Amino acid sequence: MTEQFKGVKPSRRAFLRGAAAVGGATAIGTSAAAEADPAITQMKPWNQFLGEGVDARPYGMPSKFEAHVRRQDVPWLTADPISSVNFTPLHEMDGIITPNGLCFERHHGGIAEVDPAEHRIMINGLVDRELVFTMEDLMRFPRENHVYFLECAANSGMEWRGAQLNGCQYTHGMIHNVMYTGVPLRLLLEEAGVKTEGKWILPEGADASGMTRSIPMEKALDDCLVAFKMNGEALRPEQGYPVRLVVPGWEGNMWIKWLRRIEVGDQPWHHREETSKYTDLLGDGRARRFTWEMDAKSVITNPSPQAPITHGKGQTVITGVAWSGRGTIPRVDVTIDGGVNWHQARMSGPSMDKSMHRFYYEFDWDGSDLLLQSRAHDSTGYVQPTKDQLRAVRGLNSIYHNNGIQTWFVNSDGVAENVEIS
């Protein structure tokens, strides 16, 4: 764990890949192998013997060779694992969808195990009719499907003062991107009939933290979803089963899990998570509040400290993800020389509003040191700033909303490290 974290020990999969490369082609290019590859010449058990039947794995799990692909926490960050966070292994993923079991977790009172039969959703406050819905009621409203990223406002928060954690899982892993199925919140609010003075909502969770956030009515009626499925299956308990709020493009803390109540009011509540937390302390000691939108951001996921280059020089793939709470990502630039020259990366996969985007940059690595960065452009024309540009505006104490450009230093051995550059 320690070694893998420092980026010196390749993952098991990378090791296997490396071994194959050594056995297959030590020379550069497609030259002939010196010896026959036992992966080809020797019979493997799976070539010969039968595997398990269809009754063996009623809920399928990843291959045992992928056991290292997992969420990780950083114990020193919090007093206790119950009010804490773990991180999505971005360096082990591709495409844009986060598998349900790898979606990072942040909860404030542990994972609530809610029985859907005993779960109710209440709408109260400034409405014509205060209503109660069962899960069954909820399923009778028209549903929609949307892919959205959810990023914790504190993602990269440990990096405000400088490069700290070696691995994009830790620097950028408080994010996931899944397809939600749910009912537009607007429909539930219309069902209750919002009074004209109703300008804010207060969604509340059923967990032991009783999580609450104030959300302006405009957003509530725009694109918020009351979701019960993620990537086609029921929400995972740690993601709010049986029902959570989806607040596209806005900081993850507002996406109330285990949603049980929505109050309508004429002003915000200024609860703990929008005063003590999730306000951005600036250099002058004053603080921004209601910083809901997630600014455009990107990170190179491979190579990165936990995913070094193990194949040596030659054809090399750089890949990463980008997203913006204000729209889509039409373009990402990549530099391999620390920002002297930039190259437009190749975007691949669907480009959806407030969803993750995948980019690639392939090049012929000459084996020299690399300083890798990516820079996202979003559909509003906003360009991801450097960390120093952000610090110039916000100081060092903001904690939240660090969307600065990430730098990985890759040495000639392919080992990658989290650094900052001039």
Partner 1 sequence: MSKFLKKSTLTVGGIAAMLVVAFVQETAADQSAPYNLGREALPEEVAAWDIDVRPDGKGLPVGSGDVFTGEEVWIEKCASCHGDFAEGSGRWPVLAGGIGTLASENPVKTIGSYWPYLSTVYDYVNRAMPFGNAQSLTDDEVYALTAYLLYSNDIVDDEFTLSNDNFLEVEMPNTDNFYPDDRVEVEMPLFSVEACMSDCKTDVAITMRAAVVDVTPETDGDAEVEEAAADVEATEEPAAVAEVAVVEVAALDMELVAAGEGAFRQCKSCHQVGDKARNRTGPMLNNIVGNPAGSVEGFRYSGPMEEAAAGGLVWTEEELGAFLTDPRGYMQGTKMTFRGVRKPEDIAGLIEYLKSFEAD
What tokens does 378 get?
Answer: 């979003």
Closest CA to 316 of 357, 366, 371: 366
Question: What DSSP string describes 339-354?
Answer: SSS-EEPEEES---TT
How far is Cα 18 from Cα 37, in angstroms, rounded to an integer? 14
Interface residue with ligand HEC, options 4, 86, 181, 209 (CB under 6 A): 209
Site residue total, partner 1 (CB under 8 A): 111
CA 158, 103, 179: angle at the middle one, nearest 5? 125
For residues 327 to 346, the per-residue mask of contacts with partner 1, x marking binding by CB under 8 A and - elsewhere, is ------x---xxxxxx----
Q: Give residues 272-301 in contact with partner 1 (rule: CB under 8 A).
A: 272, 275-277, 279, 281, 283-293, 295
Contact region for ligand HEC (CB under 6 A) — 269-277, 323-331, 346-354, 367-375?
269-277
291 near ligand HEC (CB under 6 A): no
76 near ligand HEC (CB under 6 A): no
CA 169, 159, 351: angle at the middle one, nearest 5? 55
Rounded to the nearest whole angstrom, what is the least distance from the CB of residue 160 to partner 1 in the complex?
4
400 near partner 1 (CB under 8 A): yes
For residues 250 to 269, the per-residue mask of contacts with partner 1, x marking binding by CB under 8 A and - elsewhere, is ----------xx-x-x-x-x
How far is Cα 257 from Cα 255, in angstroms, rounded to an integer? 6
How far is Cα 241 from Cα 230, in angstroms, rounded to an integer? 10
Dihedral sign from CA coordinates of 136, 203, 231, 183 = positive
CA 286, 288, 294: angle at the middle one, nearest 5? 145
80 near ligand HEC (CB under 6 A): yes
352 near partner 1 (CB under 8 A): no
Residue 116 per-residue DSSP state: G
What tokens does 50 get?
Answer: 């039968």
91 near ligand HEC (CB under 6 A): no
279 near ligand HEC (CB under 6 A): no
Rounded to the nearest whole angstrom, what is the least distance from the CB of residue 195 to partner 1 in the complex?
12
Q: Give residues 151-210 in contact with partner 1 (rule: CB under 8 A).
A: 154, 157-166, 187, 190-193, 202, 204, 208-210
Rounded to the nearest whole angstrom, what is the least distance from the CB of residue 110 to ligand HEC in the complex?
11
Q: How far is CA 252 from CA 325, 414, 419, in A?
A: 11, 34, 27
Kindly tell me which of 278 and 359 has the beta carbon lying closer to ligand HEC. 278
Site residue total, ligand HEC (CB under 6 A): 8
The 10 Å Cβ neighbour count of residue 322 is 28
What tokens does 8 get?
Answer: 């010196």
Kindly tell me which of 145 and 389 has the beta carbon lying closer to partner 1. 389
Q: How far is CA 157 from CA 67, 72, 122, 380, 397, in A?
A: 28, 17, 34, 24, 9
Interface residue with ligand HEC, options 83, 100, 348, 412 (CB under 6 A): 83
Rounded to the nearest whole angstrom, what is the least distance from the CB of residue 292 to partner 1 in the complex?
7
Which chain residues interact with ligand HEC by CB under 6 A? 79-80, 83, 108, 209, 272, 276-277
